[in-house]
Chain A
Amino acid sequence: MPLRGTIVVDENLCKACELCVEACPQHVIGLNAEIITPRGFHPAHLIKDECTGCGICALVCPEAAITVYREKRGAQG
């Protein structure tokens, strides 16, 4: 099983440009239609569990809105 990761999107920074949605190799990012940010966008969020914490979404994010976390190696039981 690959290492698992997750992302935290800063909703004040995200502008819903969808570059992370396009770039995600696991296709696990989508826009959250239930939230509207102060600037009027639907922010990005994880839609599936399969995030590996590769960090490519953060690499293409123009707003530096994404913090990427990954399981420590050896943490899997």
Chain B
Amino acid sequence: MVALDIKDMEIVYRHPDSLVDISTHYCPGCTHGIAHRLVAEVIDEMGLAKRTIGVASVGCSAFSYNYFDFDFVQSPHGRAPAMATGVKRSRPDRIVFTYQGDGDMISIGAGEIIAAAGRGENITVIFLNNANYGMTGGQMAPTTLPGMKTTSSPNGRDVEQTGYPILASELLATQQGASYIARRSLHDPKNIRMAKKAIRLAFETQVRGLGFSMVELLSTCPTNWHMTPANATKWLEEKMLPYYPIGDYKVHPELSELKV
């Protein structure tokens, strides 16, 4: 191979400033890392790092405070929107976002998130949906697909007994206080670019003081799905996308004219 001198070349992509340069605790191929990177890139592009406060949840996302290079607090299980409400109301000049998984946000924290959306709290929620409880060993979550095998549904999720997966974006889009609700996926380059735009719009919503914003990111869990990272992205595309269609579920009129 011919060695190219990188000193004469332009940088197309480099590690975002708002992301700490350390190895994460996430499993190889887990798309949590992609979500972290997109949030850090958006914060950098908008120049918000000096006045952003993140709220970490419980689950794999609990340690996200180690990886972002701005202020962070850690909340009890499911209570991140309540804590973010407190932070935002006491420091309205700060940009406050929560970073939550599906087990945290839509099971134990379902009350908090619906109430926060209903009140139209001016916070941003980044919601990762990987269809199971990743940190505790892949148990069935409210978002587990019908028939999907997990450690607590070894014969596949039986909808007669445990019901159907909860559609968080559709649910929150019905709330009057919500201004921007979107679902995106992290399984291929095109969808990752779309996810970044959605995250940007969610933070623009908060900067403009329009109210509650939430981006649901469909995510893989290669370890608990017992797949290679590449197969997990294919499984997400084939199985999760039909049940969780990507799209904008609620967009404030002021945002629809915005080009990002």
Interface residues of A (CB under 8 A from B): 4-6, 8, 10, 12-13, 15-19, 21-23, 39, 41, 46, 48-49, 53-56, 58-72, 75
Residues of B within 8 A of A75 (CB): 8
Given contacts A39-B23, A62-B30, A71-B10, 11 further A-B contacts (CB under 8 A): A5-B4, A17-B222, A49-B1, A53-B9, A62-B24, A63-B33, A64-B15, A64-B16, A68-B12, A69-B9, A69-B11
Report the stretch among B154-162, B174-182, B188-196 that lies at the interface.
Answer: B188-196
Give A65 to B12 CA distance when docked, in angstroms. Answer: 13
Is the contact region of chain A dominated by helix, strand, or loop, or is it mixed?
loop
Q: Does chain A have a CB within 8 A of B132?
A: no
Residues of B within 8 A of A10 (CB): 15, 21
Rounded to whole Å, the gap between the CB of B45 and the closest CB of chain A is 15
Report the stretch among B70-78, B199-207, B208-216, B226-234 that lies at the interface.
Answer: B226-234
Q: Does chain A have a CB within 8 A of B26?
A: yes
Rounded to whole Å, the gap between the CB of B4 and the closest CB of chain A is 5
Contact of B11 among A13, A16, A22, A67 (CB under 8 A): A67
Whether the pair A60, B9 counts as a contact (CB closer than 8 A) is no
Whether the pair B10, A23 counts as a contact (CB closer than 8 A) is no
Whether the pair B228, A18 counts as a contact (CB closer than 8 A) is yes
Residues of B within 8 A of A56 (CB): 189
Residues of B within 8 A of A22 (CB): 230, 233
Give A23 to B233 CA distance when docked, in angstroms. Answer: 11
Contact of A69 among B4, B27, B34, B189 (CB under 8 A): B4
Q: Does chain A have a CB within 8 A of B37?
A: yes
Whether the pair B26, A62 counts as a contact (CB closer than 8 A) is yes
Closest to A8 in B: B6
Residues of A within 8 A of B2 (CB): 49
